[in-house]
Amino acid sequence: MSKRLEGKTIVITGASSGIGKSTALEFARTAPKDLRLILTARRIDTLKQVAEEIKKEVGDGVRVLPFKLDVSSPDEVRSFVSNLPEEWRDIDVLVNNAGLVKGVAKAPEIAEADMKVMFDTNVTGLINMTQAVLPVFLKRANGGAGDIINIGSIAGREPYVGGSIYCATKAAIKSFTESLRRELIATKIRVIEIDPGQVETEFSVVRFYGDKSKADAVYAGCEPLTPDDIAEIIVFAAGRRENVVIADTLVFPNHQA
Ligand code: NDP
């Protein structure tokens, strides 16, 4: 349990599955008193189920707000904070987790629609969310306070054949995150990046347009991380005392080449 996280208001994008869902549960387990969790994604019914799971596991000490939000829609993101009920607007932590990969293709064959959805979600969506929430952080005393936790990927550091666009989006997150950390150096705002390696989630099902057998083949012969492995690190980073920044972390399965 962490006293430091008690009473905080936390926004998680992409909280309907995988790492985002596990992160919501992990925050709730770690700070089961007076926490407010704003769970966002496009699948609102799934978010409501996640809220029920949290309630079942930790009880009513954690308040949960499922909130339908498409991060690739600039209009939805721009009005995100003002559309929250007033008592939910004082956000302390933003976990920019929503993201996806579409297709495996060498550069000449990349479908324009796939390229667009990856950039609109992974890059523009993350930046727009940051711009939407930063004013809340900046209005706090002494130049501002709050945590921005961006989920990058090993793909942003080690590009692979057939994944040039996804890798480029994750490299863009790294550059944006590092610039932002430097811009905010005079404040108490912490800018954190966590880069997972292989994690078994719906990620590869989305990558192969719903083809589960192709998705399962990705993990054949290896043991990927679980989303809980990453969630624990996200919550650990948010729970450090305010002078400690876990700035840039790569986490992958022991055997991943
Ligand atoms: P999942 O597919 O399980 O989760 C992705 C989440 O993003 C879902 O909750 C989905 O919700 C949400 N999402 C997708 N598009 C949008 C959108 N336009 N607006 C809002 N939410 C959206 O995959 P993971 O949990 O694995 O992925 C989470 C993050 O981790 C991603 O950024 C991914 O790039 C990163 N990552 C994953 C790795 C892995 O091996 N799994 C490795 C390295 C990084 P919904 O469909 O309801 O909108």
ipTM for the whole complex = 0.99
209 is catalytic: no
Give yes or no for a contact between 144 and 186, defined as CB atoms under 8 angstroms apart: no
Cα 207 to chain centroid, rounded: 18
Structure tokens at 175: 């550059």
For ligand 1, the distance from its centroid to the CA atom of residue 231, given in whole angstroms, is 13
Ligand 1: residue of 203, 206, 226, 252 to mutate (most ligand atoms within 8 A of CB) is 203
pLDDT in tens, 58-81: 999 999 999 999 999 999 999 999
3-class state of residue 82 by DSSP? helix
Question: Dihedral of CA 173/174/180/185: which sign?
Answer: positive
Q: What percent of the chain has pLDDT over 70?
A: 100
What does the domain layout of the chain look like in residue ranges? 3-251
Residue spans of beta strands (DSSP E) within the chain: 9-13, 35-41, 62-68, 93-96, 145-151, 188-196, 248-251
Specify the DSSP class assigned to residue 182.
H
User: Is the pLDDT confidence value at 125 over 90?
Assistant: yes
In this predicted structure, what is the pLDDT of residue 226?
98
pLDDT in tens, 87-118: 999 999 999 999 999 999 999 999 999 999 99
In this predicted structure, what is the pLDDT of residue 257?
74
Residue 128 exposure: Cα atoms within 13 Å on the Cβ side: 21
Question: In which band, very low, low, confident or very high, does the pLDDT at 2 lie, cut at 50, 70 and 90?
Answer: confident
Pairing relationship of beta strands 188-196 and 93-96 according to DSSP bridges: unpaired
Query: 3-251 has which fold?
Result: Rossmann fold (3.40.50)
Give yes or no for a contact between 145 and 127, defined as CB atoms under 8 angstroms apart: no
Pocket of ligand 1 (CB under 6 A): 13-14, 16-20, 41-43, 46, 69-72, 97-100, 121, 125, 151, 153, 196, 198-199, 201-203, 206, 227
pTM metric for this prediction: 0.98
